[in-house]
Structure 1
Amino acid sequence: MEIRVIETKENKLLGRKEIYFEVIHEGEPTPSRRDVKGKLVAMLDLNPETTVIQYI
């Protein structure tokens, strides 16, 4: 599984960072939200308790 960040935006009104990304998983089953979140948190050095994936 590979994660490619497409866009990062600062949402100052809500005090958060919004990250748009795509997950490439050719030849593999669709990854779970937990797997995607774990890889994204490790890749971008984020806090897992404040990281939410809204849409896959």
Structure 2
Amino acid sequence: MEMEILQEKENPFLKRREVLVRVFHPGSPTPSKEQAKEMIASKFSCDKEKVNIIYIFSDTGRASTRIKFYLPL
């Protein structure tokens, strides 16, 4: 699965990074929260327990999914 960063914003007031990514998953179902946490943790070099997933939305008719999550600064 490939991951493309669509939006990344630092929020110093809340001490977190707010990130929106698109995951391409041709031939496989929408990734679960656990799979998404593992992918994010490996991509951003952080502990998967610190990844806070806000939502996972599949793009209709496509093999891609948008995932919004927060990471601590």
TM-score interval, normalised by the smaller of the two chains:
0.7 to 0.9
User: Gaps (5+ residues) in structure 1?
Assistant: none
- Which 4+ stretches in 1 moved above 4 angstroms? none
Normalising by structure 1, report the TM-score.
Answer: 0.86
What is the rounded CA distance, in whole Å, between the counterparts of 2:33 and 2:2 in structure 1? 14
Q: Which has the higher strand share?
A: 2
Which structure carries more relative contact order (alpha carbon 8 Å, separation 6+)?
A: 2
Cα-Cα RMSD? 1.1
- Give the fraction of aligned pairs with identical amino acids, expressed as a percent: 36
Q: Which has the higher helix share?
A: 1
Counterpart in 2 of 1:11? 11
User: Gaps (5+ residues) in structure 2?
Assistant: 57-73
